[in-house]
Amino acid sequence: MHSNHKVKTDGPAQPPRRDPYEVLELPKNASEQQIKAAYRKLALKYHPDKNVDNPEAAEMFKEVAYSYNILSDPEKRQQYDSAGFDAIDLDYREMELDLSNLSTMHTMFAALFSKLGVPIKTSISPYVLEEAIKGTVTIRPLPLGRPVNDRVEKQAAHFFGVTLTEEQAADGVIVRVVSHTQSKFKLLYFEQEENGSLHLVQQEDSMKTGKITSAGMYFLHFQVYRLDLAMNVLTMAKDPETAFLRKLEGLQACDILELKAGPHIFSVYGDNFFKSASYTIEAVSAELFKDSAEKLKAVEAQLLSKRNELKDFEIEYKEVLARFTAVSNRLKEEKVTVDKLLKSREAIHASFSTVPQVKRHSSCSNLGNMPGDERAGTSADESPCELRDRHSKKKWFNMGLKSERKAH
């Protein structure tokens, strides 16, 4: 179903750029749900595969995606509201790719960056979202505690239904997907309307942890967070030494903290560049993992507190680092100054003499090692080389006399 129409992926349209609220046809006080709904509607409307003969649709599609990237992120939305596009451009510009429309060359570049460890955000194929909205997808049952192993094709999705009782909903539910082949995928959660239409409300990108990739959703009646590593890419490029201090800025609060009794729809989306994704999906009751749930609650709270601490520590760190840099630079300068002064002093010391300074050759440099009695009687007019020659003759002459005495 993919067309040959190419969409540029090297960033949003160049200035002048329209107000994101205007692009998504939203008021300034729009809620998160309104933003998501507007994006889904306009992304499907302007998708290039639906507008092959309309080149303007491709530009609108990019503009819609870029506007959504700003307004869907609370931090970037606040930055835009306070300082406009300049604040977004200087801080972070999210890279999001629709793999269903990438040419082979673009896909290869994206795969290369991913292999190098650069987090690249990818959007879900509009075909998957459109089929979900129409309610024409096949939904397989996923009972609690019964994992399912399968393989999903790239830019395709498998849908699963989890039905909860009142007790199970009160206990809490965890849905996790793991790939032991380190496949790249997304875990999606859809809300189902009475007419069967499915609307995407939450997604988690797989992350590499050890020898596997995994993604999970935790509906435990307390606030949990996802970690968006892509937010730290620009910081690492600009200042690798302080990138760690920004790592927890990628913590984003998940929208849904609990599920009600009844059916719920999840999906595994194949996010690999060239091949299908193998996975294991499992839904479990939190009642069986009370200790783990309590530990997670404590760790999430600690991470949020640590994120705030690091913001203050970063200011202190940069002040100390600036001071250290200044002191280190002064140390280098002082070393150079002292060395110059010592050399100058040596030259002045040597100038206190009436004897002309003669350049010594390396072949005559061992004169200073001659015993004092051998240097006695030398004339100041004799050069170092002449003194060496006279010393050598004396030495050989004495050796000859000693040989003659032994013969007698």
Number of domains in the chain: 1
**Residue 80 domain-assigned?**
no
Q: Hunting for tokens 């451009």 — which residue is that?
A: 89
Rounded to an integer, the average pLDDT of 298-314 is 89
pLDDT for 341: 95
In the three-class reduction of DSSP (H, G, I as helix; E, B as strand; rest coil), residue 207 is classed as strand
**Residue 321 domain-assigned?**
no
pLDDT for 334: 95
Least confident of 195-199, 300-304, 391-395: 391-395
pLDDT for 120: 56
* 13 band by pLDDT with thresholds 50, 70 and 90: very low
**Residue 140 domain-assigned?**
no
pLDDT for 141: 96
Least confident of 156-160, 273-277, 315-319, 377-381: 377-381
Helices vs. strands in the chain: H and E counts, helices first: 13, 14
Per-position DSSP letters for 297-324, written without gaps between them:
HHHHHHHHHHHHHHHHHHHHHHHHHHHH
pLDDT for 143: 94
Structure tokens that stand for 205 in this block? 């990108």
Q: Are strands 173-179 and 277-285 parallel, antiparallel or unpaired?
A: antiparallel
Q: What is the pTM of this model?
A: 0.57
Whole domain around residue 310: which residue ranges? 146-316
- CATH code of 291's domain: 2.60.120.380
Task: Kindly give, in sequence order, each residue whose CB lies less than 8 Å from that of residue 129, ignoring residues fewer than 6 positions away.
Answer: 40, 43, 44, 200
Name the residue with higher pLDDT: 93 or 15: 15
**Residue 373 domain-assigned?**
no
Q: What is the pLDDT of residues 339-382, one digit of tens each?
A: 999 999 999 998 898 888 765 555 454 544 555 554 455 555 55
pLDDT for 42: 85
**Residue 270 domain-assigned?**
yes
**Residue 295 domain-assigned?**
yes
**Amino acid of residue 142:** L
**Residue 211 domain-assigned?**
yes
Least confident of 111-115, 182-186, 352-356: 111-115
Structure tokens that stand for 100 in this block? 């269903």
**Residue 14 domain-assigned?**
no
Tell which residue, 232, 241, 280, has the closest CA to residue 119.
Answer: 232
